[in-house]
């Protein structure tokens, strides 16, 4: 039922002791927020506005961490650190990589939501029990 | 009885707000804000016991929100826990410098969040209790001097002069009695205030005609005011002075004259009086407050 994915739903459910419905709601709410932030990072990148890049990458990192999008969290942290000058790397390439990671992560959201939703509809489902990594 | 603590959650990330709502929503009264400006607006009216405050937000950031909360006397006991995805020590230090009480890293652990919230709410209660004790002691010290002296002096005179005639005895006995009654009244008010602070009263939000309440209060106060040559002016529709028995404080008359003789834990509040006003049942104490001011 699961496939290789960028969203560790199990970790989020466990760490935050969430109801499955809440995580579904969080994932759905996270999509437009992350997309807006990614757009903002790209705009700031074109304007070479490193302060804004760092701020938006930080925001992506925070939301990604809360909903269990590990790969996105890691790449957002890299972009934030490069933009702040903590890490030496090509900022443009890092932003491009963030965009790729974002795309693939968000592609996994509907599947994760479907599987979580199916769990809530199953009469035997333990809604707070950890599930698979979707 | 509504005793649940009030928590303001501030984060521009909807996912984080949903997570916090899921964890705390059933145990506490929650309000949510997605910007620093919105948080300050809500904090002013909601007077939260605790604020969970994101640091990096568009507009005013969490540090600045925290500083402004700390500068707001009404929120002096409000606990602030900064919540951020930043793990660097510098972020924590800046939070504490801004006046935050604690710091939580995203992604937070449910148990840690709940434990911190619980601890800080308990600390706030203890601090408020300490403050209340100090206020009550100060109030008693300040307000009991005059009536106590009245009782002592009148009873000493009664005891000292055997030759006093009946009218004189009656006069001093009346003075002692009046002052004793004032002391009794003061203690009742202090007990009332402590009960209020302890949440022993049930408050319900209700819609009332504030103008009618003020009219009623002024009518009651007028009788006492006339005896003291005090004229009470009513200007409905314009800012008026209301006295609400909600906090310890010193009532001050308009025009700068200090109403030192006004008894009780009353606070002066300026308020516009619209046609309708959602206000708690406690407003009935307004009439009592105005009556007392008139008496003094």
| Segment B47-82, tens digit of pLDDT | 999 999 999 998 899 999 999 999 998 898 999 999
Whole-model pTM: value is: 0.68
Residues of A whose CB is below 8 A from B14 = 26, 29-30, 33
User: What percent of chain B has pLDDT above 90?
Assistant: 41
Structural tokens at position B232: 């009470």
User: What percent of chain B has pLDDT above 70?
Assistant: 77
Alpha carbon of residue B258 to chain centroid: 20
| Segment B111-149, tens digit of pLDDT | 999 999 999 999 998 888 888 888 888 888 888 998 999
B80 to A45, B95, B103, B110, B115: CA distances (angstroms)? 34, 9, 9, 18, 14
B214 to B42, B204, B208, B241, B284: CA distances (angstroms)? 27, 19, 11, 10, 9
| Segment B197-241, tens digit of pLDDT | 777 777 777 787 777 888 888 888 888 888 888 888 777 665 444
Q: Tell me how close the Cα of B119 comes to any Cα of chain A, in angstroms.
A: 19
Q: Is the pLDDT assigned to residue A13 strictly greater than 90?
A: no
Q: Whole-angstrom Cα distance, residue B194 to residue B192?
A: 5
| Segment B76-109, tens digit of pLDDT | 899 999 999 887 788 889 999 999 999 999 888 9
State the average pLDDT over residues B28-56.
95
B104: helix, coil or strand? strand
* Residues A15, B109: C-beta atoms closer than 8 Å: yes
Q: Comparing B278 with B111, which gets the higher pLDDT?
A: B111
Q: Are strands B50-54 and B205-208 parallel, antiparallel or unpaired?
A: unpaired
* Residues B84, A62: C-beta atoms closer than 8 Å: yes
Q: Tell me how close the Cα of B30 comes to any Cα of chain A, in angstroms.
A: 16
pLDDT of residue B5: 93
* Strand ranges inside A47-100, DSSP E: none
ipTM over 0.90: no
């Amino acid at each position: 039922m699961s496939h290789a994915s960028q969203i560790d739903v199990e970790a989020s459910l466990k760490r935050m002791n969430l109801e499955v419905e809440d995580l579904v709601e969080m994932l759905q709410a996270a999509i437009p927020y992350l997309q807006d932030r990614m757009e903002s990072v790209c705009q700031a990148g074109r304007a070479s506005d490193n302060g804004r890049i760092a701020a938006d990458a930080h925001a992506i990192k925070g939301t990604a961490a809360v909903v269990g999008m590990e790969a996105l969290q890691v790449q957002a942290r890299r972009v934030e650190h490069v933009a702040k000058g903590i890490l030496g790397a090509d900022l443009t390439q890092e932003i491009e990589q963030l965009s790729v990671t974002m795309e693939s992560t968000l592609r996994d959201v509907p599947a994760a939501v479907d599987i979580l939703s199916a769990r809530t509809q199953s009469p035997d489902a333990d809604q707070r029990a950890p599930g698979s990594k979707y | 009885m509504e005793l649940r603590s009030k928590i303001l959650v501030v984060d521009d990330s909807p996912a984080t707000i949903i997570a916090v709502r899921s964890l705390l929503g059933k145990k506490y009264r929650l309000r949510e804000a997605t910007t620093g400006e919105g948080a300050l607006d809500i904090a002013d009216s909601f007077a939260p016991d605790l604020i969970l405050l994101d640091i990096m937000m568009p507009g005013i950031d969490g540090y600045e929100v925290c500083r402004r909360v700390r500068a707001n006397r009404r929120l002096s006991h409000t606990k602030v826990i900064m919540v951020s995805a930043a793990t660097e020590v510098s972020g924590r230090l800046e939070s504490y410098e801004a006046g935050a009480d604690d710091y939580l890293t995203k992604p937070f652990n449910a148990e840690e969040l709940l434990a911190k919230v619980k601890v800080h709410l308990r600390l706030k209660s203890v601090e408020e209790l300490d403050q209340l004790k100090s206020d009550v002691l100060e109030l008693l010290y300040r307000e009991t001097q005059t009536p106590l002296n009245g009782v002592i002096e009148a009873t000493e005179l009664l005891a000292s002069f055997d030759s006093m005639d009946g009218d004189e005895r009656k006069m001093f006995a009346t003075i002692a009695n009046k002052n004793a009654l004032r002391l009794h009244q003061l203690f009742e008010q202090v007990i009332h205030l402590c009960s209020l602070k302890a949440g022993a009263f049930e408050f319900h939000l209700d819609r009332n005609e504030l103008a009618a309440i003020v009219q009623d209060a002024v009518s009651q106060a007028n009788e006492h005011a006339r005896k003291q040559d005090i004229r009470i002016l009513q200007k409905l529709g314009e800012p008026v002075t209301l006295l609400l028995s909600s906090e310890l404080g010193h009532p001050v008359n308009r025009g700068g004259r200090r109403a030192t003789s006004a008894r009780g834990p009353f606070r002066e509040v300026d308020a516009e009086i619209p046609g309708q006003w959602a206000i708690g049942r406690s407003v009935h104490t307004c009439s009592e407050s105005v009556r007392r001011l008139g008496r003094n």
